[in-house]
Amino acid sequence: MMTRRAVLAGAAALAAGPGFARPGVEIAGIRLEPDHEAMVAVPGGRIYVRVNGDLKGPRPPLVMIHGGPGSAHWYYLNATAMAGERAIILYDQLDCGRSDAPDDPANWQLPRFLDELDAIRAHFGVARWHVLGGSWGGTVALEYAARVFRDAPDTLASVILQSPLVSTPLWLRDAGVLKAGMPPKIRDLLDRCDVPGAVPQAECDAATDAFYARHVHLAEPTPTIAAYKAALPRSFSSGIYNHMWGRAEFTATGTLKDYDGTPLLQSLDGRRTLFVAGAQDEAIPATVAGFAAAVPGGATFREVPDAAHSVMNDNPGAYLAVLGPWLAAHD
């Protein structure tokens, strides 16, 4: 039975044109079941952490920070195909996925999300690791890397900032550019939907989905990953998203509305920092490349073809082809 959201997605597909929601790709060797899992104590509750691979192996593990705010670890499952080379650590932030859900806005502060990484590393006894963050997870990774490169650089093998939220003003500037490229009817709807009640919600949802179909997700999750996602207690926590960001990707009204992490770029180690964006990403590749260029000495930038914001879901093979050599070169 189709849900209302599925019907709206279909309407968005017609509006956005061919190519919307193509079948996803599942990488050979993906591991749906964890080798280890734990509920790790953090300020405010406990977070769910799963590990595939050997944490005591010769290569540093990779921890992956999901976006949102309010998403969950499911869309990084394709990365578990690398678990034969190194341990892959996926986790859900507090109030997300399988983690505790105190639903207390007092917990939705950037410093507390950084504390989650410290808790994971301590719980599993990780001496040194690679850290990857996507979108809002890129914000967490940026803040974490800037601190660690300053205070304990030997514990961080490298940091990967994929489609990161580095500056809300720059994000909204780019969103305006992308909105301007939408069909006129959809562009007009997206603008009018910023006024509560100005447009029927169904029309706003369909217009938003049309934007997302171009710049957020080009592919549906595979049936296997979709079933895993559906089994989570929460695959998306709208309360956190609305509180910290706003109603949609191109509208910031929450606590991150004035966020500017660009000064932190000066604290990164260019030799150990990789920026990534999808070719059709809402985090426009030219902007992300500019962040890389702003790091002292210049960080590395890679663009993943045929991918929007959900890079690991849209083109996992090409993304892993970037990540594998990078991680090996910085172990």
The residues, ordered by sequence, that sit 6+ positions from 58 with a Cβ below 8 Å of its Cβ are none
Active site annotation includes 281 = yes
Cross-strand partners of 219: 22
Catalytic residue among 135, 158, 235, 237: 135
CB atoms within 10 A of CB 3: 8
Task: Out of 95, 100, 209, 281, pick the active-site residue.
Answer: 281
One-letter identity of residue 116: E
Instruction: Respond yes or no: is residue 238 known to be catalytic.
Output: no
Does 310 qualify as catalytic in the annotation? Answer: no
Q: Per DSSP, what are the bridge partners of residue 5?
A: none
- The set of catalytic residues is 135, 281, 309
